[in-house]
Amino acid sequence: MRKERILEIERLRGLAFLAVVLQHSIAHYSVASGMTMNDGILMAVLLMASKFAVPVFIFITGMVLFYNDSDRFQYGIFIKKRISDIYIPFAIWTIIHVVINHSIQFGSLEGWTDLGRMLITGKASTHLWYIIMLFQFYLLYPVYRSLIQGIVKRLKPRMNILLLVAVGILFIVMTANISDIGRWMGNLQIPVWSDLFTTYADRNALYFSFYFILGAAAGMNPQVWTTWISRARPLYWTLFCFMFGFLLLKGIQEIRLAEGERITFYSLSLLSPWMAVFLISSIFAMYDVARWICLKGGRRLNVLLSSIGLYSFGAYLMHLLTLRISYVVDESMLIGAPSWIRITSSWVISVLLAYLGARLFSLLPFGKWLTGVPGGRSLKQATTKRESNTTAQM
């Protein structure tokens, strides 16, 4: 029996993709020549407004996996599907980025070794780290599933909520001690494991785990989650707005201390305790926005966001390349324009080209290997299936 569609998730996925592209557009212009302190402040505002993207994507993954979970779970079939729908497109786009960036020399053994390392670490391009981090949740899903479902069955609803809050607090405390954890794990010198806490700490799924757990809680109890979204609105919107302002001031202070040098946003890193508090509140706030869009946003906006969400995985894999195209337009036509026009232009062009590219590739017989969405005649069937039973991609 098919479960009821979660309309908010379809819209939320589209919003998160738009936010990711905006973040990367900001990153380009933050190091562009001629940018002033006022430009940096504008970028800080836009960056804060789009920071929700990664935690929301992870939350969606957790919510959808646990919402669609059944007693007939088979890990072999589960992981095979994720390799087919997610890892293979990632691997193909890794090679595409390597070729375009001339990152390695295929004529040497060292070059092929580097490619193998990139396929494991996501180092081929600055956005591919996310896929490696996300895939860890799929690999460890049986562990999360056993622990979370076991706890939920043994405790009363009120205790489950209190435990979820406690886990959230522990997660925030953990983000405050990432450097210490890294030094400790680095001293152990355990192959691969130590690297995950040092060199590749930015893609260690443990440091993003609460967003997944929160999604799992929502997916197992969607009605309770919706009720809390309504009841707790004053609490999480107040927290969201306060932390937005607090972190924005930190970002502005960083820009001012730079005194006209390169604009950076190190104080707005994803892996910090204050940012973790903000990101948790942003999940609630953006879910509330998605609910409002479903109810009040109108048919066109809902259809557009749902369609963007459907193709978001393929679009995400290629969007840094479409951003390059937008920079060509910028440098030839908008070099003297205000920063907000240049950023918005690159953002819109990149989103449009990535979205249309993902749709086009999905029409090809081998489209699945590029976008995660089956191509050719299977596309209509895949779209219908996804609309009725939201998948866990992106």
For residue 87, the enclosing domain spans 7-388
Q: Is residue 2 part of a domain?
A: no
Q: What is the pLDDT of residue 256?
A: 87
Q: pTM for this structure? A: 0.93
Q: What is the pLDDT of residue 394?
A: 53
**Is 129 within the bounds of a domain?**
yes
8 A C-beta contact, residue 251 and residue 268: yes
> What is the crossing angle of helices 209-220 and 157-175, to 10°?
160
* pLDDT single digits (tens) 13-25: 999 999 999 999 9
Percentage of the chain beyond pLDDT 70 is 93
Closest by CA position to 6, among listed 78, 81, 68:
68
Q: Going by C-beta distance under 8 Å and a sequence separation of 6 or more, which residues neighbour residue 360?
A: none
- Quick check: is 1 in a domain? no
State residue 4's pLDDT score.
Answer: 82
**List of residues 6+ apart from 345 with CB closer than 8 A:** 326, 329, 330, 334, 337
Is 299 within a domain? Answer: yes
- Considering the domain boundaries, does residue 55 fall inside one? yes
Asked if residue 102 belongs to a domain, the reply is yes
Stretches in the chain below the pLDDT threshold 50: 376-392
Count of domains for the chain: 1
At 268 the pLDDT is: 93
* 171 within domain boundaries: yes
Return the exposure string of 309-327: e unless at least 16 CB atoms fall within 10 Å of the residue's CB, then b. Answer: bbbbbbbbbbbbbbbeebb
CB 126 within 8 A of CB 167: no
Answer whether residue 22 is part of any domain. yes
> For position 2, what pLDDT does the model report?
65
Segments in the chain forming alpha helices (H): 7-30, 37-50, 53-67, 75-82, 88-101, 109-121, 129-139, 141-154, 157-175, 178-188, 193-197, 209-220, 222-231, 233-258, 273-296, 299-310, 312-333, 339-362, 368-371, 378-388
Structure tokens, 274: 């204050």
pLDDT tens-digit series, residues 269-303: 999 999 999 999 999 999 999 999 999 999 999 99
**C-alpha dihedral over 63, 65, 66, 71, to 10 degrees?**
170
Tokens read off for 335: 């070099």
